[in-house]
Each structure stands twice: as C-alpha cells, then as structure tokens.
C-alpha cells in the first residue's frame, strides 16, 4: 500500500513539474515595432491605447469594444469631429498620453495590452512593464531599433520604410486585437490606390512637379523621413521643405524663399487657412495670390505616420488637386463613401 502511494505521489510530482515547465497555452509572443519581444495573452480582451495612430486604426478595425482607456490628447490629435466615428471616446478613461502615464490609473483598467508610441520615453515603458503589463510600441515605420525609438528617425529608403512599416504595424495591431482579416483588407485597399495614382503621374518629369508646402500651426511642417513628405511626393508634389528632416518649425523667410504654388493645411487646423489668407507676410506667395490653399478633408490625414485612409484616399485627393485634368473621372465623394462604409461603417457624406 505504501509503495502504491509513493508511486502515485511520484506521478503527481512529475505531472506538476511538467505543468510548471510548460509555457501557458494562453500566452504568445509578438515583436513590436521597436524590436522588443512582448508576451501577450492568446486572446486580448482589454487594451489601453496611448497613441492616436493606433487608436484610429483600432476604430477602423471595429475593435473599440476592447478599448478600455485612451490617450488624453485624442481630441487634439484626431480632431474634435472624430468623436462621431467613435462615440464612446469621451467616456473612456485617459490614464496617460504619448510621453507620460499615470500608472495607478492605468492599473485600475486591468489591460491585457498597452499600446504606446515608438518614441515613448524608456522610463515610461519600463514603469508599465514593471507593473506587470504587456507594452506594445507602434511606429508604422520599418527602421532599425536604434532609430525606431526616435521622434525623427533617420530613414535611408523612405518609401520602402513607410510601406513595410505601415503593413507591419497594421498587421501587429490587427493581430493583437483579433482582427487579422480586416487588417489585410486595409492593406490591400491602400495598394490599389497607390497603383492608380502612380500610373497616372508616371510621365511627369521632376522639374514639372508642383511646388507644395504643408502648413501647420506656428510655421511647423514636414520634411523628409515623415509620411506626409512621401504622401506629397506620391501625389506628384515637390515638397519645398524637403531639405529638412522630420517634423520641424521653419521661418517665414524660408516659406517666402520656397514660394510654393500650392499650400495644403490639415483638416484639424482650419484656423491656419484664415491666418495665411489674412496675414500680410503671406500675400506675395504664389499659392496665396492664385487662391491655391486647400484645407484637406479628414480622410487625407497628413500626419508624420501613415494612416490607412490617407494612403487609400488622401494621396488620390491630393493628386486630384494638383493635377485635376488627370483625375477628372475620379469622384472623391464616391471613393470616400465606399471607404468609410467599409472601415468606419458609415457613409463619409453621412459622417459630416
């Protein structure tokens, strides 16, 4: 009898040891966009998103039922009208932002995963990790880890880095949120538009490209290494600020010297249009004299990071403004309605 009990005990100990030695079936590992290996649950039910680009993609993936907290700057970054696309946003807790976190408030939300921006401070990421939470950094840019953590990374092959980084980022977000198929649909629609625009602009020589400036508040603009610069390039624009790197402030003297033929202004900054039209120092610039200042529609998100609707709609819209004769057959309202119905589950017209 004693021998039998001893044998049972040995079997129990062996099974226990195996269970302890075997990784939990509920866990898996993903690689985030700053090169970190992150353990996350196999099924993620609760996420906090401290980056507006990831939040925008989560809305389009129809995954907001899993979002339990968001960044405090969401209204500034996404625009005040964005709430109509995600009505729950004003009611969600805001335990931090792009570069800061309130760890006590974050822990109250019990997230399975916390999304942060690639340039979130290392001590912020460590604080969240040390609290036992999985942290996934998103950059939407494919660069080495040492560059990926920078706000303005050095990018050798900009088109390749943005295209690959966008696809990787969307797939990562979609994977974590359990929306892989929708993520692939999103990537496919951007490729389709890219080909259409590229084919129609292929024969324009470099010296005939339209000189264009992206106007942001306080004379900030986008140069090389940011998606907006590539967005302009792919739409057939010559970015007059191409000599700078990243998102930076320039001077009025710079803009006067560049003398752009077209000025684009992001939808979230309509006051910039009025400022340009009314301020004396802008009046000698060709774009102002000829009335070619365009407030971009919401879907043309001219951000530092690529957004799916900007790639699927925004580049096409921008190309149509620059070269209307080449895109006469394109009805942007129709294009926008189709995209919004697919990814925001509402017609763009109805969303205004």
CATH topology of domain 202-343: Rossmann fold (3.40.50)
pLDDT of residue 21 exceeding 50: no
Section 1-24 average pLDDT: 45
pLDDT of residue 14 exceeding 70: no
Q: Say what the pTM is.
A: 0.84
**CATH class, range 24-178:** alpha beta
Cite the residue boundaries of each domain of the chain with CATH code 3.40.50.1980. Answer: 24-178, 202-343
pLDDT score at 79? 83
**Closest alpha carbon to 137 in 274, 237, 238, 40:** 40
Alpha helix ranges (H) inside the chain: 2-21, 52-60, 74-78, 103-108, 122-130, 145-148, 158-176, 180-201, 227-234, 252-258, 270-278, 286-289, 308-309, 315-322, 332-343
pLDDT score at 317? 98
């Amino acid at each position: 009898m004693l021998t039998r009990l001893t044998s049972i005990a040995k079997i129990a100990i062996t099974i226990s040891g195996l269970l302890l030695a075997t990784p939990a079936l509920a866990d898996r590992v993903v690689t985030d966009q700053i090169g970190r290996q992150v353990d996350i649950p196999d099924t993620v039910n609760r996420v906090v998103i401290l980056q507006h680009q990831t939040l925008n993609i989560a809305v389009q993936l129809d995954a907001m039922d899993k979002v339990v907290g968001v960044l405090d700057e969401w209204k500034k970054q996404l625009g005040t009208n964005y709430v109509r696309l995600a009505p729950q946003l004003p009611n969600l807790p805001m335990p931090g932002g792009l570069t800061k976190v309130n760890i006590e408030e974050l822990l109250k939300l019990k997230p399975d995963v916390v999304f942060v921006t690639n340039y979130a401070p290392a001590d912020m990421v460590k604080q969240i990790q040390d609290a036992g939470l999985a942290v996934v950094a998103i950059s939407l840019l494919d660069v080495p880890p040492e560059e990926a953590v920078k706000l303005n990374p050095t990018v050798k092959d900009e088109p390749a880095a943005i295209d690959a980084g966008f696809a990787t980022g969307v797939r990562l977000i979609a994977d974590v949120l359990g929306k892989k198929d929708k993520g692939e649909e999103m990537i496919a629609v951007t490729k389709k538009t890219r080909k259409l625009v590229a084919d129609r602009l292929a024969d324009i020589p470099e010296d005939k490209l339209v000189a264009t400036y992206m106007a942001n508040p306080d004379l900030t603009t986008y140069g090389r290494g940011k998606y907006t610069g590539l967005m302009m390039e792919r739409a057939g624009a010559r970015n007059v600020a191409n000599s700078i790197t990243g998102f930076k402030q320039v001077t009025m003297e710079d803009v006067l010297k560049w003398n752009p033929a077209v000025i684009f202004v992001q939808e979230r900054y309509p006051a910039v249009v009025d400022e340009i039209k009314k301020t004396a120092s802008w009046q000698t610039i060709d774009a102002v004299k000829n009335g070619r200042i365009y407030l971009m529609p919401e879907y043309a998100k001219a951000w530092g990071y690529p957004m799916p609707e900007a790639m699927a709609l925004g580049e096409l819209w921008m190309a149509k403004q620059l070269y209307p004769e080449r895109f006469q057959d394109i009805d942007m309202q129709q294009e926008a309605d189709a995209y919004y119905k697919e990814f925001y589950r509402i017609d763009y017209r109805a969303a205004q």
